[in-house]
Amino acid sequence: MNIRFLGHSTFLFQHGEQRLLIDPFITGNPSSPITLEEALEWGVDAVLISHAHGDHWGDALAFGKAGVPLIATAEIAGYAQKHGAAGAIGMNIGGTYRAAWGSVTLTPAWHSSSFPDGTYGGMPTGLIVELGGQRVYFAGDTCLFSDMRLIGDHGLDAALLPIGDHYTMGPQEAARTLELLRPRVAIPMHYGTFPPLTGDPQEFKRAAQGVEVRILEPGETTEL
């Protein structure tokens, strides 16, 4: 399984011809190495959305209107359907959606969630994604919370963690999550895109104990 970082909290997961796009913030993302037009040509199998804030919801509607399934909370899926994404799939925390490519399970995240127009976006979530025999936890926007130990019980090949501070946990708090999550690999995200996101990935790497930290530049790919 390959993980390609597309800036901020946007990732492309790929196994063979199977592709999943996570939190598709491309238009307006100053760190994005791609254009929306390029991404739409990839033929992704699904777009997964952690919550409704603009820097995560992003270009979801463009994919939904192009016929790509959008998978998220019931509130996000309902909003997407109302705005032209007929194939949106609504879930809730604790539920698992299974498809030919694998599965996604929604987990709690401690944050907030509303669309750019102010519409309520339901509870924010994290995602446990299974693809190509690998299991990856995408934390979304969150702080450290003790139930991460239960998420770690799933057996994680990788954990994608926000470290930017201000709106989410910072590097030190993110490093503490590794004791609970116990992933094989950790990848920092949600830092440096905007001025308030001051978290330093090198600080996160220094604070991590017993977990391999891979710091990806926008556009860079790593293999699990």
Q: Residue 177 has what pLDDT? A: 98
Q: Residue 9 has what pLDDT? A: 98
Q: What's the CATH code, domain 2-216? A: 3.60.15.10
- For the chain, the domains span 2-216
SS3 at position 218 = coil
Q: Is the pLDDT of residue 157 over 90?
A: yes
> pTM here?
0.98
Q: Is the pLDDT of residue 104 over 90?
A: yes
Strands (E) across 83-153 are located at 89-91, 96-99, 102-108, 125-131, 134-138
Q: Residue 142 has what pLDDT? A: 98
Confidence of residue 209 (pLDDT cuts 50, 70, 90): confident
Backbone torsion region of residue 138, taken as left when φ is above 0, otherwise alpha when ψ lies between -120 and 50, otherwise beta = beta
pLDDT digits (tens, 9 = 90+) for 6-18: 999 999 999 999 9
Q: Residue 27 has what pLDDT? A: 98
